[in-house]
Amino acid sequence: MKDYQEKMSREMKIRHFAESTQDMYLKVVDRAVAYLGRDPQEISSEELKDYVLEIEAENNLAASTIEIHIHALKFLINVALNRKSDPFIVERRKRERPLPVVLSREELKRAFDQSENVKHRTLFLTAYGTGLRIAELCNLQVGDIDSKRMVIHVRMGKCRKDRYTLLTPELLRQLRAYWLKYRPTGYLFYGASRDLPAQTDMVYHAWKRTYARSGLEKKVCFHTLRHCFATHMLEAGVDLRTIQVMLGHSSIQTTSMYLKISTQRIAVAGSILDLVKFC
């Protein structure tokens, strides 16, 4: 490992960066170093800014992608290399904020019905029925399913925070059917072995294949299931603060985005909302 990579890895681990963030930052910096052909200590901050503008123009990258490049380069220069004489300073950019795509419950059922097997169907239903991020889903343990309190314990989510989200009767039924077939003991959705979690890439591509077979034309990704969870909860009358807690958002402003997406508001009547009743 090169000197700058070792320093970045050390500083990111000290700060408890997620492994996915560590990998992303290292890839961004490695690409910049290869492009400019010199050691980072020899590259000025102005050259790095020019580099960012060049790759943005050449590859027509989205504002969110460029922001990741900026954060990675800023971390390299200002933190890992601690270069005080020539820091990398870029003011926060204005980001494009298009509203996320949301599928109706009928569209979700159409997609879920194309699942290749019980495991994939349960993965998708759990993601939609709980609002979990893909990494949180893969890291679920069997013991995190609390059927007595009807909640799911999300451990070490984004920013290393724990929280609870709901467990509906229909999702519990689906999870029990899955357990009887696969008998997981540690990780609920295990990967190559029972001691390893399912890989996020596997889950992502499984959903991509499943959705493609549905024939639906909306452009979605796996994270769309989380958006569907929040939007459908809001439309069923669940208050924004409760949705914020279940999603694990630090700020209510982030959750309030779903107010713009929701097209209807229906009062909650009688019982707990069961998002996956059609499974």
Q: Look up the CATH number of the domain holding residue 116.
A: 1.10.443.10
Task: Provide the pLDDT for residue 261.
Answer: 72
Task: Provide the pLDDT for residue 276.
Answer: 67
Q: Do 64 and 136 share a domain, yes or no? A: no
* Tens-digit pLDDT profile for residues 89-135: 987 766 667 788 899 999 999 999 999 999 999 999 999 999 999 99
Distances from the Cα of 236 to the Cαs of 44, 213, 274, in angstroms?
53, 29, 10
Contact status, residue 76 vs residue 4, Cβ threshold 8 Å: yes
Q: Enumerate residues 6+ apart whose C-beta is below 8 A from 149.
A: none
- In 3D space, the residue among 111, 95, 90 whose CA is nearest the CA of residue 218 turns out to be 111
State which residues form the domain around 194: 105-261
- The low-confidence residues of the chain, meaning pLDDT below 50, are 264-272
Q: What is the pTM of this model?
A: 0.71
Catalytic residue list: 133, 158, 223, 226, 249, 258
Q: Is 273 part of a structural domain of the chain?
A: no
Contact status, residue 272 vs residue 167, Cβ threshold 8 Å: no
Contact status, residue 29 vs residue 76, Cβ threshold 8 Å: yes
What is d(CA 140, CA 76) in angstroms, rounded to the nearest whole number?
A: 32
Q: Is 276 part of a structural domain of the chain?
A: no
Q: Enumerate residues 6+ apart whose C-beta is below 8 A from 46.
A: none
Q: Is 99 part of a structural domain of the chain?
A: no
**Helix pair 105-112, 224-235: axis angle to 10 deg:** 140
Q: What are phi and psi of 145, to 5 degrees?
A: -90, 110
Q: Do 167 and 113 share a domain, yes or no? A: yes
Q: Do 128 and 51 share a domain, yes or no? A: no
Task: Provide the pLDDT for residue 268.
Answer: 39
Task: Provide the pLDDT for residue 255.
Answer: 84
Q: Do 45 and 163 share a domain, yes or no? A: no
Task: Provide the pLDDT for residue 170.
Answer: 93
Structure tokens at 145: 């399913």
Q: Do 64 and 134 share a domain, yes or no? A: no
Residue keyed to tokens 């008998």: 183
Strand-pairing partners, residue 164, are 153
Sign of CA dihedral 53, 59, 60, 61: negative
Task: Provide the pLDDT for residue 277.
Answer: 66
Straight-line distance from the first to the last Cα atom of the chain, in angstroms, rounded to the nearest whole number = 48
Q: Note the Cα 17 to chain centre separation in Å.
A: 15
Q: Do 126 and 220 share a domain, yes or no? A: yes
Total domains, the chain: 2
Q: Do 151 and 253 share a domain, yes or no? A: yes
Task: Provide the pLDDT for residue 26.
Answer: 95
